[in-house]
């Protein structure tokens, strides 16, 4: 039932040793760091506790023994209990990690963020695409998103850029046409273009 022993400390030490430069051995990741697990569980505990308090304000019913807040409160109480157990487990791994010093911790955190920069970039682009769906409509926003991400992630050759543009056109304007004409489902048309 216990989690991965003292792997967190080992992983953090490995990350500290290579100073965040060696991509092969670094990337201890959240799951390997006891300290990070402890802090994340603490954050979750605070959120669950706040929701538990909020659920207390939900009304009771005169028709049933359980009100609308009882079930979610039960779930949140159980979650808080599990969080406390997780924190107790993580604390054993977190203590050795504290010895590596604050500056090292910051360095490891920055390395982790740096390694995830591609994920962050794609995720944020995805968010911008979703925001653009309303004003620009499905066709234009999807074409821009699909072609931009393909070109950004893929090899920078003429062939792959042409393929990216063709596929982007197919999944944007092509899909919009198929959904509208065959299935009678109208994907967002864009508020900017509505008269």
Partner 1 sequence: MFEGFGVGLGEILQIGTLITMAVGIVLGIIAGSIPGFTITMAIVLTLPLTFHMPPIQGIATMLAVYIGGLTGGMISAALLGIPGTPSSVATTFDAYPMSRNGEPGRAMGIGIFASFFGTILSTIVLVLAAPQLALVAVRLGPWEYFSLIVFAMTIIASLVGSSMIRGLTAGLIGMFLATIGSDPIMGVQRFSFDLRMLSAGLPFLAVLIGVFAVSQLLTEVEDLRKVRQGGALISGKIVFQPLRFMMEAVRRPVNLLRSSLIGVFIGAVPGAGGSIANLLAYDQARRASKTPEKFGTGIPEGVVASESGNSATASGGLIPLIALGIPGSAVDAVLIAALMVHGISVGPRLVLDNPDLVYAMFVAMFIGAFMMLVIAMSTMRYFLMVTDIPKHIIVPLVLVFCVVGVFALNNRLTDVYLLFFVGGLGYLLRKMDYPLAPLVLGVILGPIAETNLRRALMTDADWTLFLTRPISLGFLVLAVVSVVVFLRHRYRYAAAETSGS
Binding site for partner 1 (CB under 8 A): 1-4, 29-31, 37, 40, 51, 54-55, 58-59, 61, 63-69, 71-72, 75-76, 78-79, 82-83, 85-86, 89, 115-116, 118-119, 122-123, 126-127, 129-130, 133-134, 138, 142, 145-146, 149-150, 153-155, 160, 163-164, 167-168, 171-172, 175, 179, 183-188
Question: In the bound complex, what is the minimum distance in angstroms from residue 179's beta carbon to partner 1?
Answer: 7
DSSP 104-135: HHHHHHHHHHHHTHHHHHHHHHHHHHHHHHHH
Query: Toward partner 1, which CB reaches closer, 16 or 168?
Result: 168
Question: In the bound complex, what is the minimum distance in angstroms from residue 79's beta carbon to partner 1?
Answer: 5
Query: Toward partner 1, which CB reaches closer, 14 or 149?
Result: 149
Question: In the bound complex, what is the minimum distance in angstroms from residue 26's beta carbon to partner 1?
Answer: 13
Query: Toward partner 1, which CB reaches closer, 67 or 96?
Result: 67
Question: In the bound complex, what is the minimum distance in angstroms from residue 103's beta carbon to partner 1?
Answer: 24
Question: In the bound complex, what is the minimum distance in angstroms from residue 126's beta carbon to partner 1?
Answer: 6
What separation in angstroms does the CA of 90 have from each of 106, 108, 125, 132?
19, 18, 34, 41
Taking alpha carbons only, the member of 88, 82, 79 closest to residue 50 is 79
* Assigned token pair, 154: 């893929």
Tokens 């062939």, located at residue: 159
CB 148 within 8 A of CB 116: no
* CA 44 to chain CA mean position, Å: 15
User: Residue 152: helix, strand or coil by DSSP?
Assistant: helix
Question: In the bound complex, what is the minimum distance in angstroms from residue 85's beta carbon to partner 1?
Answer: 6
Taking alpha carbons only, the member of 107, 89, 92 closest to residue 28 is 107
Query: Toward partner 1, which CB reaches closer, 29 or 96?
Result: 29
- Residue 171 per-residue DSSP state: I
Query: Toward partner 1, which CB reaches closer, 78 or 101?
Result: 78
């Amino acid at each position: 039932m216990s989690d991965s022993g003292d792997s967190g400390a080992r992983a953090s030490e490995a990350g500290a040793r290579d100073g965040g430069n060696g991509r092969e051995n670094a990337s201890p990741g959240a799951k390997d760091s006891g300290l990070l697990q402890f802090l994340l569980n603490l954050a979750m505990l605070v959120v669950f506790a706040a929701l538990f308090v909020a659920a207390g304000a939900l009304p009771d019913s005169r028709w049933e023994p359980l009100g609308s807040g009882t079930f979610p409160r039960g779930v949140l109480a159980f979650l808080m209990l599990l969080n406390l157990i997780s924190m107790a487990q993580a604390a054993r791994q977190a203590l050795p990690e504290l010895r590596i010093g604050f500056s090292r911790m910051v360095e490891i955190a920055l390395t982790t963020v740096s390694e995830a920069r591609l994920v962050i970039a794609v995720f944020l682009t995805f968010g911008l695409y979703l925001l653009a769906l309303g004003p620009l409509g499905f066709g234009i926003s999807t074409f821009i998103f699909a072609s931009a991400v393909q070109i950004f992630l893929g090899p920078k050759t003429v062939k792959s850029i042409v393929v990216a543009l063709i596929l982007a056109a197919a999944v944007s304007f092509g899909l919009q046409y198929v959904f509208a004409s065959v299935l009678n489902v109208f994907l967002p048309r864009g508020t900017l273009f509505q008269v």
